[in-house]
Amino acid sequence: MGDGQGRRRVVASAVDVVEVVDEPVPGLEPGEALVKLSVSGVCGSDKAGVHGEHVFMKPPYYPGHEVVGVVEAVAEGVSGVRVCDRVTVEPTLPCGRCKPCLNKVENLCENLQFFGCGYREGGMADVFTVPAQRLYRFPQEFTDHEAALIEPLATPVHAVRLAGDLRGKAVAILGSGTIGLLTLLAARQAGARRVVSTDVLVKKRELALELGADAAVDASAPDLAGAVRGELGESGDVVFDCVANQKTLPEAIKIALKGGTVVVMGGARRPVTIDLPLVQEYQVRIQGATTYRREDFEEAARIIAASDFDASNFVTATFPLSRAKEAFSAINSGREVKILVAAD
Ligand SMILES: [Zn+2]
Ligand SMILES: [Zn+2]
């Protein structure tokens, strides 16, 4: 595979249908690189996308935006990466010309395309093409599993940056899936004084404690906000809502009273009703957060390079590319943390 003849590629071809198809390898467009797959994560957004529940990513699409691979070829004139470099992909594909792009918030590009999310290429294929500018050459001593966590960690790193200075702050993190657990690492790294995590599953609460949460609250508690505030010993200066639904967001706001910040992450699926007078009178800041910029990839790589980072805490299942369908089924259980699809 990847011999310039044909490739297998994963396609989310219709709602709840994931297939592996054989097709020719596409030629390189100007500025592109051809990358051979090592591993690709399955994201929560893929789960929503395959079920037809994602706001903009609808089947058919080509998944794989948390991808690690090896550069096999580059188009003429491409510099910055070389053949045999191990790379990950910064999957946001901004236009470089619109107002957000010119204001250095290119993650909000008005013409944003997204590799692995509706774009003509995604990373779950024997080989794939990608604009070479969006390749990130991580420290080459990283394992593939470590490198596969750069993109998922860059999202929490960006959210923490948007939250403001966390040093000395009391922080709550709702949800301890991949994003919640990585937000815990990013918040700790940013100097949070006390961090309380939540989850409905005892196994994930245990993992949060192992990864440095001061307490982990059962998210099915009848008064979640009260339980979290109890463990914080005070209100939350910043609450990261990594679930972001009708149940969690009102609780997040209650934890942040008064004057705290609620950061909405984790791929909100539908509109939610909140107590607006409470938000106004108690000066709560509600901050959306999406994806990342190159500086967030760099910070994520620094956190992963730290000696106490253990990728095996996060990567809990791996499936060969030929069995990608099973990887998409496994994400439905909610029991796994990060699921990878690997070259076979
Ligand atoms: Zn993702
Ligand atoms: Zn733009």
Residue 192's domain is classified under what CATH number? 3.40.50.720
Q: How many CB atoms lie within 10 A of CB 305?
A: 13
* Same domain, residue pair 116 and 160: no
Tokens of 311: 């990728």
Going from the Cα of 255 to the center of ligand 2, the distance in angstroms, rounded, reads 36
Residue carrying the six token digits 């010993």: 233
Q: How many CB atoms lie within 10 A of CB 141?
A: 8
For every one of its 344 residues, what pLDDT tens digit does the chain have, with 9 covering 90 and above? 445 579 999 999 999 999 999 999 999 999 999 999 999 999 988 888 888 888 778 899 999 999 999 999 999 999 999 999 999 999 999 999 999 999 999 999 999 999 999 999 999 999 999 999 999 999 999 999 999 999 999 999 999 999 999 999 999 999 999 999 999 999 999 999 999 999 999 999 999 999 999 999 999 999 999 999 999 999 999 999 999 999 999 999 999 999 999 999 987 888 999 999 999 999 999 999 999 999 999 999 999 999 899 999 999 999 999 999 999 999 888 788 899 999 99
Ligand nearest to the CA of 108: 2
Q: Does residue 175 fall inside a structural domain? A: yes
Helical ranges in 61-190 per DSSP H: 99-102, 144-148, 150-163, 178-189
Is 262 exposed, middle or buried, given 0-12, 13-18 or 19+ CB atoms closer than 10 A?
Answer: buried
Ligand nearest to the CA of 109: 2
Three-state secondary structure call for residue 126: coil
* Same domain, residue pair 122 and 256: no
**pLDDT for res 58:** 86
Going from the Cα of 277 to the center of ligand 1, the distance in angstroms, rounded, reads 33
Q: Which residues are paired to 341 by β-bridges? A: 40, 319
Q: Does residue 124 fall inside a structural domain? A: yes
* Same domain, residue pair 230 and 168: yes
* Same domain, residue pair 145 and 159: no
Q: Does residue 297 fall inside a structural domain? A: no
Q: Does residue 236 fall inside a structural domain? A: yes
Going from the Cα of 291 to the center of ligand 1, the distance in angstroms, rounded, reads 8
Identify the domain containing residue 68 by its residue range: 6-149+314-342
Going from the Cα of 45 to the center of ligand 2, the distance in angstroms, rounded, reads 22
Ligand nearest to the CA of 338: 1
* Residues 184, 172 contacting (CB under 8 angstroms): no
**pLDDT for res 2:** 43
* Same domain, residue pair 252 and 159: yes
Going from the Cα of 120 to the center of ligand 1, the distance in angstroms, rounded, reads 17
Going from the Cα of 282 to the center of ligand 2, the distance in angstroms, rounded, reads 35
Q: Is the peptide bond before 60 cis (omega within 30 degrees of 0)?
A: yes
Ligand nearest to the CA of 95: 2
Give the E-state strand segments of 202-281 in sequence order: 215-218, 238-241, 261-264
Going from the Cα of 290 to the center of ligand 2, the distance in angstroms, rounded, reads 15
* Same domain, residue pair 278 and 234: yes
Going from the Cα of 101 to the center of ligand 2, the distance in angstroms, rounded, reads 4
Q: Does residue 253 fall inside a structural domain? A: yes
For 321, which DSSP code?
G
Q: Does residue 265 fall inside a structural domain? A: yes
Tokens of 271: 């509109």
Helix axes 202-210, 178-189, angle to 10 degrees: 20
Going from the Cα of 67 to the center of ligand 1, the distance in angstroms, rounded, reads 10
**pLDDT for res 204:** 95
Residue 36's domain is classified under what CATH number? 3.90.180.10
**pLDDT for res 300:** 98
Going from the Cα of 111 to the center of ligand 2, the distance in angstroms, rounded, reads 5
Q: Does residue 90 fall inside a structural domain? A: yes
Per the structure, how many domains does the chain have? Answer: 2
What is the C-alpha separation between 295 and 290, in angstroms, rounded?
14
Going from the Cα of 278 to the center of ligand 1, the distance in angstroms, rounded, reads 32
Q: Does residue 302 fall inside a structural domain? A: no
* Same domain, residue pair 125 and 53: yes
* Residues 341, 12 contacting (CB under 8 angstroms): no
Label residues 26-46 b or e (16+ Cβ within 10 Å = b). Answer: bebeeebbbbbbbbbbbbbbb
* Same domain, residue pair 336 and 235: no
* Same domain, residue pair 38 and 141: yes
What is the C-alpha separation between 278 and 195, in angstroms, rounded?
24
Ligand nearest to the CA of 110: 2
**Last-in-domain residue among 243, 270, 288:** 288
Going from the Cα of 108 to the center of ligand 2, the distance in angstroms, rounded, reads 7
- What pTM did the predictor assign? 0.95
Pairing of strands 338-342, 32-42: antiparallel
Residue carrying the six token digits 């090896």: 70
Ligand nearest to the CA of 106: 2
* Same domain, residue pair 257 and 280: yes
Ligand nearest to the CA of 292: 1
**pLDDT for res 45:** 86
End-to-end CA distance of the chain: 9
* Residues 2, 126 contacting (CB under 8 angstroms): yes
Contact partners, residue 303, CB within 8 Å, separation at least 6: 153, 157, 185, 186, 189, 309
* Same domain, residue pair 128 and 174: no
* Same domain, residue pair 10 and 143: yes
Going from the Cα of 152 to the center of ligand 1, the distance in angstroms, rounded, reads 6
**pLDDT for res 1:** 46
Residue 48 sits at φ, ψ, to 5 deg, of -65, -40
